[in-house]
Amino acid sequence: METHSKKMAEVKLFRTWSSVFALRIVWALKLKDVQYDTIFEDLSNKSPLLLQYNPVHKKVPVLVHNGKSVAESLVILEYIEETWKQNPLLSEDPHERAVARFWAKFGDEKVLPSIWEACNSEGKEQEEGIVKAKENLKYLEEELKGKKFFGGEHIGFADIALGWLAEYKNVFEEVASMKVIAEDEFPLLSEWKRTFADAPIIKENWPPRDKLVTRYQAFRETNLLNKAPK
């Protein structure tokens, strides 16, 4: 268990070491300098506490603050933003806040599923998946015009939500021997990935790359096996 000294409020984060969704919460808490305890879960043998705190979905991440739980990563990010005002992740402007939430949701509903689908397929199906993924990524490329981050000059809500692209996308590409984000095709997104990944708090909290590759290779092999004709 990774333990941080407690200040004032008691905060616990239930996560797995590899979850892209839990990593968002780590980044947000670190950026806001919120002290917390980490409880690593084995999802093949879920703890009674996890089932107690997230009885609906029974998955991570779960944030527990003063004994009250919050589930679902984007909801947790909103809770963190509303609870700890320092180093804001969202603009004070209502429209800019709405735009950030839109891109965060777009990432979860369109970008991640399309890249994951391409990663877990082969041949023509993979080629079609890559085309679909690139169509989604083009919207992100367009959104970055004139910006350092999706939130402007500083890492914000949408950057944290899309931050998995800066490392997990590379892992997926390696595992599936594919290329989704090429620098000449997505120059702004490529630059954003580098800038985001190199930010100290982000860089310090990436899971080990070799372990991620091994884990997602196993996922891919299982998924391809399940797709094979019986």
pLDDT of residue 210: 96
Rounded distance, CA 161 to CA 174, Å? 22
- Tell me where in the chain the CATH 3.40.30.10 domain(s) lie: 11-83
pLDDT of residue 3: 45
Supply the CATH classification number for the domain 11-83. Answer: 3.40.30.10
pLDDT of residue 151: 87
Read off the tokens for 52: 């107690």
Specify the DSSP element, H or E, that contains 15.
Answer: strand 11-15
pLDDT of residue 227: 78
DSSP 145: T
Strands 11-15, 37-40: pairing kind: parallel
Rounded distance, CA 166 to CA 191, Å? 10
Q: Are 41 and 14 in contact (CB under 8 A)?
A: yes
pLDDT of residue 1: 47
Provide the CATH topology of domain 94-227. Answer: Glutathione S-transferase Yfyf (Class Pi); Chain A, domain 2 (1.20.1050)
pLDDT of residue 229: 67
Read off the tokens for 220: 């891919």
pLDDT of residue 4: 47
Strands 37-40, 62-65: pairing kind: unpaired
Average pLDDT of adjacent 10-residue blocks, the chain of 230 residues = 51 97 98 96 96 97 97 98 97 97 98 96 96 98 97 95 96 96 97 96 96 95 81
DSSP string spanning 58-83? --S-EEEETTEEEESHHHHHHHHHHH
- Tell me where in the chain the CATH 1.20.1050.10 domain(s) lie: 94-227
